[in-house]
Structure 1
Amino acid sequence: MSCHNKSIKLVVVAGPVGTTPREMSRAFIFDEAFMLAKKGLTVHVVRSSLFDHSYEVSYGIHFHNLGGYISLDAFRMVIKNLPKYPAPSLLRKIYLIYWENLYASRVTTIIRRTNATIIHAHFAYPEGFVGLLAKRETKRPLVISVWGRDVQADPDSGYGALTSRRTADLVREALSNADAIIASALNHYWTVIKLIGDHERQKVFYLPPGIDTSRFHPSINGSVVRRVLGIQEDQNIVLFPKHLHRIYGVELLIRAASKVVKEHPNTIFLILGDGPLLSYLKSLTNNLGIERNVRFVGQVPRSLMPFFYAASDIVVDPTIFGQGYAALEAMACGKPVIGFRTGQVKIADKLSGYLVEPYDIEALADNIALLLGDPELRRQMGKNARMYVERNFSLERRINMLINIYDRILGQL
Structure 2
Amino acid sequence: MENKKPDHLFLFLEIFAQEGGIQSYVKDVLRAYKKLNYQGQVFVLRDKYPVDDDLVGGNLKFEGFADSSLMLGRIRFMVSFLLFLIINRPQRVFCGHIKLGAITRLFCGFLNIPYTVLTYGKEVWDTLPPQQRQVLNDADQILTISRYSCDRIYQSNKIDKDKIDILPCVVDADKFTIAPKPKELIEKYNLQNNQVLLTVARLWSGDIYKGVDVTIRALPTILKTYPDVKYLVVGRGDDQPRLKKLTQDLGIEDQVIFAGFIPTPELVSHYQVCDAYIMPSQEGFGIVYLEAMCCGKPVLSGDGDGSADPLQDGRLGWRVPHRDANAVANACIEILQGNDPRCDGEWLREETVKKFSLQMLDKRLTKLLKN
**Secondary structure, in 3 states, of the residue corresponding to 1:193?**
helix
The C-alpha deviation readout for 1:160-199, integer Å capped at 9, x for no partner, is xx4xxxx53233121111111112111211233335646x
Residues 233 and 256, structure 2, Cα contact 8 Å, conserved in 1: yes
Alignment correspondent of 1:403: 366
Alignment correspondent of 2:344: 381
The C-alpha deviation readout for 1:298-325, integer Å capped at 9, x for no partner, is 1211121111111111001211346511
- Distance (Å, rounded) in 1 between the aligned partners of 2:340 and 2:82: 54
Alignment correspondent of 2:122: 149
1:122 equivalent among 96, 100, 105 = 96
Residues 16 and 50, structure 2, Cα contact 8 Å, conserved in 1: no
2:327 equivalent among 356, 363, 366 = 363
**Secondary structure, in 3 states, of the residue corresponding to 1:147?**
coil
Which stretch of structure 1 is more off in the superposition, 114-123 or 206-215?
Answer: 114-123
2:78 is aligned with 1:104 = yes
Q: Report how far residue 380 of structure 1 moved.
A: 4.0
2:288 is aligned with 1:326 = yes
**Secondary structure, in 3 states, of the residue corresponding to 2:253?**
coil
- Distance (Å, rounded) in 2 between the aligned partners of 1:120 and 1:341: 31
**Secondary structure, in 3 states, of the residue corresponding to 1:36?**
helix
Residues 298 and 345, structure 2, Cα contact 8 Å, conserved in 1: yes
- Distance (Å, rounded) in 1 between the aligned partners of 2:269 and 2:242: 28
Residues 146 and 284, structure 2, Cα contact 8 Å, conserved in 1: no
Alpha-carbon spacing, 1:101–1:201, altered in 2? closer, same or farther (3 Å): farther
Q: Report how far residue 115 of structure 1 moved.
A: 5.3
- Distance (Å, rounded) in 1 between the aligned partners of 2:181 and 2:298: 17
Alignment correspondent of 1:354: 318
Which stretch of structure 1 is more off in the superposition, 213-222 or 31-40?
Answer: 213-222
2:178 is aligned with 1:218 = yes
Q: Report how far residue 365 of structure 1 moved.
A: 0.5
2:25 equivalent among 24, 28, 33 = 28
- Distance (Å, rounded) in 2 between the aligned partners of 1:195 and 1:177: 16
- Distance (Å, rounded) in 1 between the aligned partners of 2:5 and 2:180: 38
- Distance (Å, rounded) in 2 between the aligned partners of 1:280 and 1:367: 25
Amino acid at match of 2:140: D
Alignment correspondent of 2:137: 176
Residues 13 and 122, structure 1, Cα contact 8 Å, conserved in 2: yes
State the Cα RMSD in Å.
Answer: 3.1
Q: Percent identity?
A: 20
Q: Report how far residue 218 of structure 1 moved.
A: 1.9
2:354 is aligned with 1:391 = yes
4+ runs of 1 displaced by more than 6 Å? Answer: 22-25, 98-101
Residues 236 and 267, structure 1, Cα contact 8 Å, conserved in 2: yes
- Distance (Å, rounded) in 1 between the aligned partners of 2:314 and 2:157: 36
Alpha-carbon spacing, 1:149–1:130, altered in 2? closer, same or farther (3 Å): farther
- Distance (Å, rounded) in 2 between the aligned partners of 1:46 and 1:365: 45
Q: Report how far residue 406 of structure 1 moved.
A: 2.0
**Secondary structure, in 3 states, of the residue corresponding to 1:230?**
coil
Alignment correspondent of 2:35: 38
Amino acid at match of 2:150: Y
Alignment correspondent of 2:336: 372
Count how many residue pairs are aligned between Structure 1 and Structure 2: 360
Alignment correspondent of 2:208: 246
Unaligned 5+ segments in structure 2 are none
Unaligned 5+ segments in structure 1 are 72-94, 154-161, 409-413
2:158 is aligned with 1:190 = no
Instruction: Compare relative contact order (CA 8 Å, sep 6+) and give the higher one, 1 or 2.
Output: 2
- Distance (Å, rounded) in 1 between the aligned partners of 2:177 and 2:5: 34
2:63 is aligned with 1:64 = yes
Q: Report how far residue 241 of structure 1 moved.
A: 0.9
2:224 is aligned with 1:262 = yes
**Secondary structure, in 3 states, of the residue corresponding to 2:129?**
helix
Alpha-carbon spacing, 1:403–1:262, altered in 2? closer, same or farther (3 Å): same
**Secondary structure, in 3 states, of the residue corresponding to 2:116?**
strand
Amino acid at match of 1:360: D
Residues 235 and 266, structure 1, Cα contact 8 Å, conserved in 2: yes
2:194 is aligned with 1:235 = yes
- Distance (Å, rounded) in 1 between the aligned partners of 2:279 and 2:43: 31
- Distance (Å, rounded) in 2 between the aligned partners of 1:378 and 1:231: 26
- Distance (Å, rounded) in 2 between the aligned partners of 1:355 and 1:57: 34
Q: Report how far residue 44 of structure 1 moved.
A: 2.3
- Distance (Å, rounded) in 1 between the aligned partners of 2:350 and 2:50: 40
- Distance (Å, rounded) in 2 between the aligned partners of 1:25 and 1:129: 20
- Distance (Å, rounded) in 1 between the aligned partners of 2:254 and 2:52: 45
Q: Report how far residue 8 of structure 1 moved.
A: 6.4
**Secondary structure, in 3 states, of the residue corresponding to 1:32?**
helix
The C-alpha deviation readout for 1:29-57, integer Å capped at 9, x for no partner, is 0111012113343332211227x5x6889
Alignment correspondent of 2:112: 139
Amino acid at match of 2:147: L
2:164 equivalent among 179, 183, 204 = 204
Alpha-carbon spacing, 1:107–1:218, altered in 2? closer, same or farther (3 Å): farther
The C-alpha deviation readout for 1:49-80, integer Å capped at 9, x for no partner, is 27x5x688942342211255889xxxxxxxxx
